[in-house]
Structure 1
């Protein structure tokens, strides 16, 4: 190999590959050793071998061995009161120790609970700590805690006692995780100097490798799940290991309705907070508040004899050798932080000769190792309880795909709006330009589904026709149904992020899963499944971003902010209904920035960064995505098609297959032309034989977006200047000429007079009047050149010359401003004569689009190209104008249309196809239980909010500040989200259909679960199970009763009479 080739090609590749391998290997090593850096069971040295015993502190105990679910043996100390009666009447404290040392080092603390508070005490030695087997991991420690809890709840005495969980540092994270999963089995939580999560404390260990973290301990998420347990926070202000803001943030995030208290020790460090004055005094006061009949035996005796129970110093613990030694050994190190977090785990198997297992007799009087249930049912239950956070969403996702795919090919005819969107897919595949009122992203995805199914674009998707064998409509439907299937896991995840209880999370998922309307709309070639999908993602990403508010500008904060922007860009690019979801994000952002504006602790530079981040991610990014969808739309549709007339003449000239190359270049008298309005969304100057019903009652003149012969006009001179038609001389039209425009089909002249326009009364009517021989001076127009894109000639050229038509007598200008005529005008655009002379008004600008003149040669192929931004804006204005024209026709009954008033209580359904007996029929109707409960919850929330506002004004405190903020936050997301997606349809004039309510329905579903969760938060677990179970059952039963409406009715509709619960449902009529 030549040396030059080696040095230029091979050597750089070797360097890059070697460097990549080294970096990857280094990162892999960091990833693999992080557990030994996070967990330090052999700090201080010898902690794996020397484990002090409770007997050294005068406490009777039982050393027990527990076998965890993953078959690891861990050690625990069980210190019961002296008699069974006393033990059963006193609380039990379950203690989880911190990272360094072992459970024996915390015996001085256990001694206080046992001797002074007269509690039973259970101490846990995690796997890999002390003499327990195994290696510490997050999942493993959680299993250890669960095994200890099961031990207590199976013990014949301890199972009846109040259970207090006490966690220090790492033990606090273990305790929070345990209670989040077992809230009904625990009564009180006490936390000391714990952390938000491992990634958020890792900068003190691996500042630049936070992304490698596999041990999470997400206490900041788990603590929000604790709703009914009182929590005491004991925080050392001088904690040098875990910054105090971790504890403060956890306190703020706590939403328990049973009370929380914050105690700060100004001199407390990480290890000696427990030694601070009044530490156990605050614990005592807290327990007195939350345990009925709590008495600290001998407390007053000790107090009266001046025994300082409220000041626990090292002098009071002269015999507490292990704890003092543990503290002393740690403080003796010069770099405590490094010591705590960089010692490796001692994984060698330790001897157990001094820690013998204890066997239980048949009466359970002597303890033996507690083991998890071994029957099949118990094993399944235990497995579910451990992995329910994975099993449940997977289960719901499976059911969601099943309900969306089941019998999806049952009907082999083109149903409802499949006729539209399937046809648009054909245009994309054939690259033909078309026009529609919706943005292009959803329809491009439909085309992608067609390509995925092998569709060639040759089917016309006529409504009611049978799909040919070469159109795999099943795959196309399944492709789009997958968007609808993802709604359920998205709803499930959103409910979790909104801090709903597990019951409420299941309710949300079940309501979305089994709503027959959601199922039905997702199973066909429509845009709605995609619209709903991106609506759901927008809400989910926004809520995820909200949950990162305490960690601004972190990687997760940026991730969810960016994804929120991407999602609102996508949802707005499917249908403009997506703008309502965008408005929800906008209102949330405004409120968030307003709150930060009032926070004087935020520096101005940081506040400015918040603004910049949101402008970039929530405004610029969505706009770019929206524009990108149109850019791709234009890049694909390069051939002339049925939608050409909606676009500017210059844009059409750039499409392949148009006949603009046949245009003579310059316009002459006698030329037949079509005249295009150059305002955004402008149409072609048009006339037809119908007359105005009022005013002059002359022939209508309009602007029209479809090409036909009624758009053709002949350029004539004024009658008195007109030469013989047989004259072969060509005379070109130039700036300043007075002309007459004769309608080619009807022979009427373009005319204006002192009659108000039919809609815009401040302007004058334009009509078709007279004929070739009959007319007056009101038929004459002066042509004015505004400019030409490519020449300074005063002649009028096809496509490129912008012109205005000024009425010769009245001085007004021909104008078409996208004002829609009533039904008598066929919803076409009103044409007027504007008395205001505004040269910059693009709605008074026109150009010659098509041009025929046998006396002139063709101009040849044009290479003119319009600008993207102009085309983008022009198309959007045309979409807006056409959309506004979709208003109900009072003279025509539309059995498919409905009014917003009918939606919330599901008073109406929608037939999606023919209702003949031999046809497979589909009826778009919501699950009544889902819709009614959603609507009821919205009304109930208003009254509940009013109730709480009145009580707050009267100084009643029903919530802590954090709970009140959360109540308002969820209420605003659900309530305002519903209003934004519902109210606009109440005020807009366009025709509306049932499926327009589907995005709003989602917010009512969230509100229903939120309200039920709110009212049952204080219920006993059994009561709560009954209430939610009733709702689950009703939803399932009603779904099963109406399922055929979504999956297909392949029998006569007359058999559905019993399912007609409301007279307005035209199921069987």
Structure 2
């Protein structure tokens, strides 16, 4: 008789252990106590050999893994120049090796792996991947070593997909179907042959599913060594996932949802294994919270600690951090050039985010704007991108006294005099040109500034993260200019004003003071002579900051800049396009040879997986409708697997797909890769469901035991249903071979777009524009 083992949420795994219902090495013999008794009384309808022996599984896994390495590494040295986002992640690896501080919106784990690979091969980080098309050969970059890392992880991802199906108790054909959909997918291959982060992300996501399945199968051995091992490994995989990209949070949602359901079942006083006491339930809850929340967070923090420990030198990421943070970096140019600002100094102010200068000129606001609103017709104050004398402002104290020659300090009230027009900066309760809710910025004459409008010309210097009475400095003194009477912050944005303002940026008063987009800095002090003592370079010691303070600051900056990635991109796409593979992304082109790398999935494989997702949802709805009408069309074991094991895979797909609908940032096809992997798992599971047929006697025994009756011993002859069950394995193999053949054909047909060679003629390119893909060299 075939013993079975449990899988997530109640599915089982067949084993060829004839005549035994003992525990196997993977867990217990069934998912519920009723099944244990049923299996001891009823002979399984499918012959043991039909499901595939352990040796068969290992042989096929070796075959699939070898193909995965072959498809990922074949021609990996082509092209020998920078491709697409290799300009970013290759550059970051070089910065790590040079210990130069940089900024990126993604967590550090995946980039640290690339740096580690570079260190292993003795690379010094001299090449900074500045432009797509730059030669690796001419610059002596070990790019094949860098590309080998994602290729290895991509190949192992195929093996993990196979193991997920195997550990979940699915047949050999089902394992082969799921693995082949990833093995022969052009998008997975294309993304794992380049210096990109998604191979690490997808591999970690797949490992988290596998480790949780292994953990769940040990639910009848709680708190054992193996139980703890797989719980901790699940947490580690989840940590690697979110430490690579923040979309790794979706894996936490997947596993977290399964854990909540599991804990809810443990609360059931009628559960087959017996009710848990509340203290025991508390132990289960605490163990899962520790293994799946606390430990992953500690691992997550650890990678940032490594990040800070390596990047000790000033670099291109300085501008994204506060002056206090920059003081922890050696060779910081900004701090070395910082000069204390005195009253009556002439300064140029620059917006930190858009780098535009605070500017004014004699032109005035029009009487009426395009929407009919009336302006003050005051002198225009705008943002100008170039250095100009109209950017010169003099810092005056609130009580104008030429004898006052001291430093400007934090929270002091000042006036800003525009030198060229001899007017004073002013804000008042008049709507700005583009933002009716924001205040207009203009200037007033000296006479008005000393008379009735004196209060409207007062501004507070509020140094960002500054201390009381702190000296105001150029370059390093990031600050917000707060209008004193109305408490609005001087702000600008990139939408240009009309021709009447020479298409310069609008300056207005923002009522929301907190946003970092309100921050300015003083770039220069033109009135200061070159030999002035204040310009003397003083050697500064590198300071330290607590780790958590640095981490919080970096997190805040990463999240803010990630949310700003909303601009349009020629190859951006929408989530509804991904399951149908409606468009891809151009990675690289070579005009002379007509070669191109176009990031695109295997259309046949994607359409099969997407169709199966719809079929699965339809089966669930049909089953629920039938149950409501009193028709029970499925046996217990089939329904358990359909809802629990396959449902777990479907949950992984949904949690890695639907959240993108509420995101406002740029989205691309590669964001669908984790969800596509989950859809491959659903496909393999559902194909087995369609072709499987459980024993009539097994179901009868289950129902008898459930009703408290003694099951009838199994008959020795095969019924028509049992003969069909034996034939269903043949159907599964046929389905597996058909899907493998179709996906292989799709992979081979689109191979030139994935590997970048050979070059294609116009006719060959046109044949591959199945859904109007925006391919190059089509004419």
The SS at the match of 2:685 is: helix
**Closer/same/farther in 2, CA of residues 803 and 919 from structure 1, 3 Å limit:** closer
**Closer/same/farther in 2, CA of residues 540 and 787 from structure 1, 3 Å limit:** closer
Tell me which residue corresponds to 1:946: 621
Please tell me whether residue 869 in structure 1 is matched to residue 578 in structure 2. no
Please tell me whether residue 781 in structure 1 is matched to residue 456 in structure 2. no
Please tell me whether residue 261 in structure 1 is matched to residue 38 in structure 2. yes
Aligned partners of 2:421 and 2:70: how far apart in 1? 60
**Closer/same/farther in 2, CA of residues 898 and 667 from structure 1, 3 Å limit:** same
**Closer/same/farther in 2, CA of residues 834 and 521 from structure 1, 3 Å limit:** closer
The match for 1:180 among 15, 25, 43 is 15
CA contact (8 A) 1:452 1:476 kept: no
* Residues 901-1050 of structure 1: pairs in structure 2 closer than 5 A: 901-914=576-589, 916-918=591-593, 920-959=595-634, 961=636, 963-1018=638-693, 1020=727, 1021-1050=729-758
**Closer/same/farther in 2, CA of residues 607 and 673 from structure 1, 3 Å limit:** farther
Aligned partners of 2:296 and 2:348: how far apart in 1? 41
Tell me which residue corresponds to 2:720: none
Aligned partners of 1:743 and 1:411: how far apart in 2? 55
The match for 2:439 among 765, 786, 807 is 765
Aligned partners of 1:745 and 1:498: how far apart in 2? 76
CA contact (8 A) 1:663 1:851 kept: no
Aligned partners of 2:222 and 2:434: how far apart in 1? 53
**Closer/same/farther in 2, CA of residues 479 and 830 from structure 1, 3 Å limit:** farther
Please tell me whether residue 503 in structure 1 is matched to residue 173 in structure 2. yes
The SS at the match of 1:921 is: strand
Aligned partners of 2:488 and 2:332: how far apart in 1? 31
**Closer/same/farther in 2, CA of residues 803 and 181 from structure 1, 3 Å limit:** same
Alpha-carbon shift at residue 943 of structure 1 (Å) = 0.9
Aligned partners of 2:60 and 2:646: how far apart in 1? 26
CA contact (8 A) 1:495 1:505 kept: yes
Tell me which residue corresponds to 1:740: 415
Tell me which residue corresponds to 2:709: none
Tell me which residue corresponds to 1:488: 158
CA contact (8 A) 1:407 1:1047 kept: yes
CA contact (8 A) 1:427 1:433 kept: yes
- 1:933-964 CA-to-partner distances (Å, cap 9, x unmatched) read 11111111111001111222334444455553
Aligned partners of 1:427 and 1:829: how far apart in 2? 34
Aligned partners of 1:717 and 1:609: how far apart in 2? 66
Tell me which residue corresponds to 1:616: 290
Please tell me whether residue 596 in structure 1 is matched to residue 596 in structure 2. no
* Residues 371-450 of structure 1: pairs in structure 2 closer than 5 A: 387-450=55-118
CA contact (8 A) 2:410 2:466 kept: no
If the length of structure 1 is used for normalisation, what is the TM-score?
A: 0.59
* Residues 226-375 of structure 1: pairs in structure 2 closer than 5 A: 249=33, 251-252=34-35, 261=38
Aligned partners of 1:613 and 1:1064: how far apart in 2? 49
Alpha-carbon shift at residue 901 of structure 1 (Å) = 2.2
The SS at the match of 1:468 is: coil
Alpha-carbon shift at residue 985 of structure 1 (Å) = 2.4
The SS at the match of 2:406 is: coil
The match for 1:557 among 219, 227, 242 is 227
Alpha-carbon shift at residue 527 of structure 1 (Å) = 1.0
Tell me which residue corresponds to 1:585: 255
The SS at the match of 1:739 is: strand
Aligned partners of 1:392 and 1:439: how far apart in 2? 36
Tell me which residue corresponds to 1:464: 133
CA contact (8 A) 1:669 1:733 kept: no
Larger CA Rg, structure 1 vs 2: 1
Tell me which residue corresponds to 1:634: 308
CA contact (8 A) 1:494 1:540 kept: yes
Aligned partners of 1:577 and 1:416: how far apart in 2? 21
Aligned partners of 2:770 and 2:462: how far apart in 1? 66
Please tell me whether residue 196 in structure 1 is matched to residue 23 in structure 2. yes
The match for 1:455 among 101, 123, 133 is 123
CA contact (8 A) 1:912 1:923 kept: yes
CA contact (8 A) 2:462 2:479 kept: yes
Alpha-carbon shift at residue 550 of structure 1 (Å) = 2.2
The SS at the match of 2:459 is: strand
Q: Cα RMSD between the aligned structures?
A: 4.3
Aligned partners of 2:389 and 2:203: how far apart in 1? 43
The match for 1:1059 among 753, 768, 773 is 768
Alpha-carbon shift at residue 646 of structure 1 (Å) = 0.6
- 1:465-499 CA-to-partner distances (Å, cap 9, x unmatched) read 22234112112211221111111111000111222
CA contact (8 A) 1:649 1:849 kept: no
Tell me which residue corresponds to 2:204: 534
**Closer/same/farther in 2, CA of residues 782 and 1066 from structure 1, 3 Å limit:** closer
Alpha-carbon shift at residue 562 of structure 1 (Å) = 0.9
CA contact (8 A) 2:238 2:251 kept: yes
Count residues with an aligned counterpart.
700
- 1:362-384 CA-to-partner distances (Å, cap 9, x unmatched) read xxxxxxxxxxxxxxxxxxx99x9
CA contact (8 A) 2:348 2:522 kept: yes
Aligned partners of 2:419 and 2:218: how far apart in 1? 67
Aligned partners of 1:744 and 1:1022: how far apart in 2? 88
Alpha-carbon shift at residue 417 of structure 1 (Å) = 0.8
Alpha-carbon shift at residue 602 of structure 1 (Å) = 0.8
The SS at the match of 2:670 is: helix
Aligned partners of 2:477 and 2:326: how far apart in 1? 15
Aligned partners of 1:580 and 1:407: how far apart in 2? 33
The SS at the match of 1:922 is: strand
Aligned partners of 1:621 and 1:978: how far apart in 2? 25
Bigger relative contact order, structure 1 or 2, given CA contacts below 8 A and separation 6+? 2
The SS at the match of 1:523 is: coil
The SS at the match of 2:657 is: helix
Tell me which residue corresponds to 2:698: none
Unaligned 5+ segments in structure 2 are 4-11, 498-503, 694-724
CA contact (8 A) 2:174 2:732 kept: no
Alpha-carbon shift at residue 587 of structure 1 (Å) = 1.7
Aligned partners of 1:501 and 1:711: how far apart in 2? 76
- 1:811-867 CA-to-partner distances (Å, cap 9, x unmatched) read 314277xxx957559xx999864668x9xx686997978775555535651544333
**Closer/same/farther in 2, CA of residues 937 and 772 from structure 1, 3 Å limit:** farther
Alpha-carbon shift at residue 685 of structure 1 (Å) = 8.7
The SS at the match of 2:619 is: helix
- Segment of structure 1 superposing worse, 1034-1043 or 933-942: 1034-1043
Tell me which residue corresponds to 1:654: 328
* Residues 692-771 of structure 1: pairs in structure 2 closer than 5 A: 698-700=380-382, 714=393, 716-717=395-396, 721=400, 723=402, 730-734=405-409, 737-741=412-416, 751-756=426-431, 764-765=438-439, 767=441, 769=443
- 1:186-225 CA-to-partner distances (Å, cap 9, x unmatched) read xxx866xx4214xxxxxxxxxxxxxxxxxx4x5736x68x
**Closer/same/farther in 2, CA of residues 179 and 446 from structure 1, 3 Å limit:** closer
**Closer/same/farther in 2, CA of residues 749 and 644 from structure 1, 3 Å limit:** farther
The SS at the match of 2:589 is: coil
The SS at the match of 1:574 is: coil
CA contact (8 A) 1:686 1:711 kept: no
Aligned partners of 1:554 and 1:822: how far apart in 2? 59
Tell me which residue corresponds to 2:9: none
